[in-house]
Amino acid sequence: MQELKARILKDGRNLGKGILKVDSFLNHQIDPMLMQRLGLELARRFVHVEPTKVLTAETSGIAPALATALALGIPLVFARKSPPLTMDFTIVKESCRSRTHDKMVELMVSTEYLRPDDRVLIIDDFLATAQTINALARLVNKVGAKVVGVGTVIEKVFEHGRENAREIDAPIESLAVITDMDDGRIVIAD
C-alpha cells in the first residue's frame, strides 16, 4: 500500500534496536482517514476467509482492527490486559512479551464474546517477533475457535515474526514490509 509506505518514510522514526515510531498516525495519534483505508485494504485481503470476528490486543491494535471489522461488517473483540469488574464470564488468558514495553503482559478474552464457532481474523499494528499474534492465536485455540487469517499494518521481516508464527495455519498479510532498519534507515519492500 503506497500511501502507508510513504507515510512511514515521511513520519516514521527509527529509534534504534528495531523500534519504529509511528505514533503520529498509528499508535498514539491516529489518522482516521488513513485508518479507514487500511481497514478497507485488510478487509479486501481477508473477505474470502469469511471471518465472523476480528481479534486484536489492547491498545495499539484496536484502531486498525476496528477499521477492518467495520469494513467487513463483523464484531471486533480485543484482548484486555487487565480484567474490568464487568467481565463476569469465563476468561481465557495468555502471556507474551511486549516488544515496545519490554515486559511480559497478560492478554485475556471473555468467552462471552469469543465462541467455539467463531472464525477469527487477527489484526494487529505490527508483526515483529509474533509474540502477541501467537498469544492471540492461543486464546482463539483455548475457546475452540479457528484462526482464519492474520493481518498487520507493518511487518518487520528482520525480526522473523512470520517464521515464529509458523504454528498459525492461516494466511498472513502485511500492508507494509520493513526489510531493514540498520544505521537509522527505514527500508520498505516494494
Q: What pLDDT, on the 0 to 100 scale, is given for residue 95? A: 87
Q: What pLDDT, on the 0 to 100 scale, is given for residue 85? A: 72
Residue whose cell numbers read 485481503: 45
Percent of the chain at pLDDT above 90? 83
Stretch 155-183: mean pLDDT, rounded?
95
**DSSP alpha helix (H) spans, 27-185:** 32-46, 62-72, 131-142, 161-164
- CA-to-CA separations, 187 to 17, 20, 99, 123, 176, in angstroms, rounded: 15, 11, 20, 23, 10
Tell which wins on pLDDT, 81 or 25. Answer: 25
> Domain map of the chain by residue range?
2-188
The CATH class of the 2-188 domain is alpha beta
Tell which wins on pLDDT, 1 or 187. Answer: 187
Question: Is the predicted pLDDT of residue 151 greater than 80, yes or no?
Answer: yes
- Does residue 117 sit in helix, strand or coil? coil
Q: Tell me the pTM.
A: 0.95
**Which pLDDT band, with edges at 50, 70 and 90, does 116 fall under?**
very high
Stretch 165-183: mean pLDDT, rounded?
95
**Which pLDDT band, with edges at 50, 70 and 90, does 2 fall under?**
very high
The C-alpha atoms of residue 145 and residue 143 are separated, in whole angstroms, by 6
For the stretch 42-73, pLDDT in tens is 999 999 999 999 999 988 899 999 999 999 99
